[in-house]
């Protein structure tokens, strides 16, 4: 499969405000880390944690998944820069915050060494996304 990463990243983050969301990862070579590939006229990348293909771009309806790009870059940093073991990281995990009765799904959770308490919680958002910020 041909790596289409730079081409698809440019399509997903064409808005300068959206591109600003990648500033946190300026020390990474995104085109080498993420391997975006085409399958059935849609574009995917393989999740670093779930090890399954995730759709990031559909040119037919111009649907993009910039949030997934950011999630994968955070996963890469957590695994490769900060050296957290993969078994302490969960993706799209329900977490209870404080004494709240309700649980909320978060994008990335790094658990403590006992794997019983969230240690780091990362919630990624699309550029200009307001939903879920509170």
The whole-number pLDDT of residue 23 equals: 82
Residue 129, domain member (yes or no) = no
The whole-number pLDDT of residue 104 equals: 83
Chain segment 94-114, per-residue pLDDT in tens = 887 777 777 888 999 999 999
The whole-number pLDDT of residue 125 equals: 77
Residue 11, domain member (yes or no) = yes
Chain segment 20-77, per-residue pLDDT in tens = 668 889 899 999 999 999 999 999 999 999 999 999 999 999 999 999 999 999 999 9
Residue 46, domain member (yes or no) = yes
Beta bridge partners of 95: 104
Residue 113, domain extent = 5-122
Which residue in 70, 68, 76, 75 sits closest to 90, CA to CA?
A: 75
Chain segment 124-134, per-residue pLDDT in tens = 876 655 554 55
As for how many domains the chain has, the answer is 1
The whole-number pLDDT of residue 97 equals: 75
Residue 65, domain member (yes or no) = yes
Residue 32, domain member (yes or no) = yes
User: Does 92 score more than 80 pLDDT?
Assistant: yes
DSSP string, 68-129: HHHHHHHHHIIIIIS---GGGEEEEEEEE-TT-SSEEEEEEEEE-TTSSSEEEEE----TT-
């Amino acid at each position: 499969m041909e790596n289409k990463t730079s081409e698809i990243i440019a399509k997903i983050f064409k808005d300068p405000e959206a591109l600003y969301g990648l500033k946190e990862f300026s020390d990474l070579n995104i085109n080498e880390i993420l391997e975006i590939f085409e399958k059935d006229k849609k574009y995917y990348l393989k999740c670093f944690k779930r090890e399954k293909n995730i759709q990031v771009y559909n040119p037919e309806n111009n649907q993009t998944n910039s949030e997934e790009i950011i999630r994968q870059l955070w996963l890469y940093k957590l695994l490769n820069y900060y050296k957290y073991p993969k078994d302490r990281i969960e993706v799209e995990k329900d977490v209870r915050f404080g004494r709240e009765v309700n649980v909320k799904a978060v994008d990335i959770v790094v658990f403590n060494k006992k794997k019983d308490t969230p240690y780091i919680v990362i919630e990624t958002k699309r550029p200009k996304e307001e939903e879920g910020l509170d």
